[in-house]
Amino acid sequence: MKFTSPKTRAEQDAAQTPPTEDWAALEAATAPDPQPEPTVETPPVMPVATAPPVVLTQDQFAALLSAIGGTGGGGITADDMRAVMHQARKPIPENEVHSGISHYRPQGMAGGTPAFRWPEVWFAAMDDKGDAHPLHPFDVDRCTVEEIDAINSLIPGVRGKVRFMDGSPNDACVIEERTTGGEVKRLLIGFNFAVWKDRNRYNSIGLIPQLCAQLRDLATVAA
């Protein structure tokens, strides 16, 4: 048998063992491909359906309070509240007719639906030639029945002086305008431009029924 010295064995092992950097390169080259981590899909968050806000009129709210008070005071559950609100809230259809009650029409629709005799009624400004120019329109929905009746009683063609609330005399006219085809277009109640330039003066015009009464008197005198 042939013996090998330790030195010769160490030299042989060193010659057979690759350097450390070679090991690293070899491991990197032969390492299995990294496997991607499984993707966990987060389910989409569904929007939470919200109920439309409940809007109650003053009468419906009063009915709600009355219904709550009639439950015996034993406590109100959520189901009780929904039932009471369903009972108190009256559905309002889209085509429900408004009562018409307002500051101008205390009687509402019971007083009828008065309208002007003319398609439009305007306050107007008179120039130096006596021609009237439309300035402020009348809103029939913001006129009382008395004001509408007074305006409808006017007679076109009237000119003269009326007294304002401050006692000052002012030129006034009532003019009916027509289209080129002869159709009635609008009625103008005119005052001098100077009246509309002074806030105090046009605020002194006064109430429409009293003004129209003076204009009617001018028509009577002219007749």
Predicted pLDDT at 74: 55
Predicted pLDDT at 155: 95
Q: Would you say residue 141 has pLDDT above 60?
A: yes
Q: Are 154 and 115 in contact (CB under 8 A)?
A: no
Q: Using CA atoms, how far apart are residues 64 and 5, in angstroms rounded to an integer?
A: 110
Rg (CA), the chain: 47
Amino acid letter, residue 83: A
Top-confidence residue, 66 or 114: 114
57-63 average pLDDT score: 64
Q: Using CA atoms, how far apart are residues 125 and 112, in angstroms rounded to an integer?
A: 32
pLDDT in tens, 174-209: 999 999 999 999 999 999 999 999 999 999 999 999
21-37 average pLDDT score: 56
Order the strands of the 169-178 sheet from edge to edge. Answer: 132-137, 121-126, 184-192, 169-178, 159-163
100-118 average pLDDT score: 69
Break the chain into its structural domains and give their ranges: 121-222
